Amino acid sequence: MRTVAILAHGASALVRHIGQISAWLGLALVCVVSFNVLARYLFGFGSVALQEAEWHLMSAAALLGMSYGLNQGGEVRVDIFYARMSSRRQALIDTGAALLLMAISLIIAWLSLAYVQSSYSINEGSPDPGGLGYRYLLKSVLPIAFALLALQAVAMLGEALQRLLARRP
């Protein structure tokens, strides 16, 4: 039981740290958008690369932030039936949900590896003149983000198993 608790805590801590990085990406996004707006309207300067950097940052922040949102309990839940269930039944449902989330996340992470590899093999860049190159770097966030989501599912599974296997008074 102690090993499960250590594993769940470690997985959760790693997801929290990545979530904090994701929050900093949000600040970088605000800075890039602000610069783009000010440069365009005050100085008549515009850059395709900076505009693409906006959606690159937004994509990375959203993908890396989804596991953090789940870690912090920010998911949308409908607790009409769940709240009325016994704690044991809730733990059973949470165990099943964590296993399903882990399986789906790992499948998506695995399938997205070919997508990233294909982009890397052709050194994919922006189709727009003056756009950003190395698009495979952005695409590589996909398997990383879903692996983190699977890791968060491991943490949730550990917590649910602890509740399920805990001795009741």
What does each of the 169 residues of the chain score in pLDDT, given as a tens digit?
A: 788 888 888 888 899 899 888 889 999 999 999 999 999 999 988 889 999 999 999 999 999 999 998 888 877 777 788 888 888 999 999 999 999 999 999 999 999 999 999 999 999 988 888 888 889 999 999 999 999 999 999 999 999 998 888 876 5
Domain boundaries, the chain: 2-165
> Tens of pLDDT along 56-69?
999 999 999 999 98
Whole-model pTM? 0.86
- Burial of 98 per CB tally in 10 Å (0-12, 13-18, 19+): buried
Exposure string (b/e) for 67-83, b if CB count within 10 Å is 16 or more? Answer: bbbbbeeeeeeeeeeee
Q: How far apart are CA 118 and CA 34, in angstroms?
A: 34
Q: Do residues 71 and 155 lie in contact, with contact meaning Cβ atoms separated by under 8 Å? A: yes
Q: How far apart are CA 91 and CA 161, in angstroms?
A: 7
- Burial of 56 per CB tally in 10 Å (0-12, 13-18, 19+): buried
Q: Do residues 8 and 158 lie in contact, with contact meaning Cβ atoms separated by under 8 Å? A: yes
Q: Do residues 148 and 64 lie in contact, with contact meaning Cβ atoms separated by under 8 Å? A: yes
Would you state the pLDDT for residue 114? Answer: 95
